[in-house]
Amino acid sequence: MLRRYVTQRVGGTNMGWFSHGPATVPARPYGREVAHEAHRGWRKLVLVRHGQTDYNVKHLLPGQLPGIPLNDEGRTEARATGAALRPLPISAIIASPLERTMETATFVNGDRTLEVRTDRDLLDTDYGRFSGQCYDELDKSDARWRRFMNDPLRAPKGVENFATVQQRAVRAAERWRQAPDVGEWVALVTHADLVKLIIAHYIGIPLARVPLFSMDNASVSLLAFHPDANEPPSLLCFNWTSPALWLAAAQRL
């Protein structure tokens, strides 16, 4: 969920290229042009957040609880995202094994008939005893929750902190970035926290800034990885939805 700005300064916690000071990033004038010849052969990770659930609507923390499927709106969102991604030559689909991600992965798969593989490192943040509770109510009544939201690097016992979630999220991303048998376009269907933390790692954004990211349901982000493992990837899109959910929400104000 990672929905708040973290006030503490966090040092030495980011695991990306920028963890040891400023890095020299090569100029890439082709930027987001995924069809550019210079991107040919690069491994692409298509990061997809699951569609909406009733937990999202009610501001409940799903965490790793089972039995939380997409609702009608979530299926509509996931179907639209799957249709929009149809032109992509997706060659492998890996999903968090929870219902909402597996269902979203089915829409991403569409008529491709790919096997949807699962990876437990892509599971949502484990919120422990907070799972299933309304975060609006926790904001008012639970001091430990408020401390956690103000400093997610220091989680209460039984709750995953930012760094732990990022470690396993990046472990999954690296596993599928380097896998030899999955083709060039790999879709990882996962959760908002995981997408944010994967992007933060590779782009060099400190963990303390991650709560500033917005991540819509059924949104897509795309990383293209240089064949040289020492080179950082390019972020070709972030939090893209079809249609733009943030714009539709703004128009309702």
Task: Assign residue 245 the CATH number of its domain.
Answer: 3.40.50.1240
Does residue 187 lie in a domain region? Answer: yes
Local confidence pLDDT in tens for the 253 residues of the chain: 655 433 333 333 333 333 434 455 555 655 545 666 666 778 999 999 999 999 999 999 999 999 999 999 999 999 999 999 999 999 999 999 999 999 999 999 999 999 999 999 999 999 999 999 999 999 999 999 999 988 888 999 999 999 999 999 999 999 999 999 999 999 999 999 999 999 999 999 999 889 888 999 999 999 999 888 888 898 989 999 977 776 777 777 6
Does residue 220 lie in a domain region? Answer: yes
Shortest CA distance to 65 belongs to which of 104, 100, 108, 93?
100
Residue that the structure tokens 């790793």 belong to: 64
Shortest CA distance to 64 belongs to which of 104, 102, 107, 97?
97
Does residue 238 lie in a domain region? Answer: yes
Distance of CA 145 to the CA centre of its chain: 22
Q: Tally Cβ neighbours within 10 Å of residue 31.
A: 10
Q: What gap in Å lies between CA 193 and CA 47, rounded to an integer? A: 12
Does residue 243 lie in a domain region? Answer: yes
Does residue 4 lie in a domain region? Answer: no
Does residue 230 lie in a domain region? Answer: yes
Domain span at residue 131?
40-251
Number of folded domains that form the chain:
1
- CA separation (Å) from 81 to 42, 124, 216, 222? 23, 20, 12, 13
Q: Are 61 and 133 in contact (CB under 8 A)?
A: yes
Shortest CA distance to 2 belongs to which of 246, 210, 216?
210
Does residue 48 lie in a domain region? Answer: yes
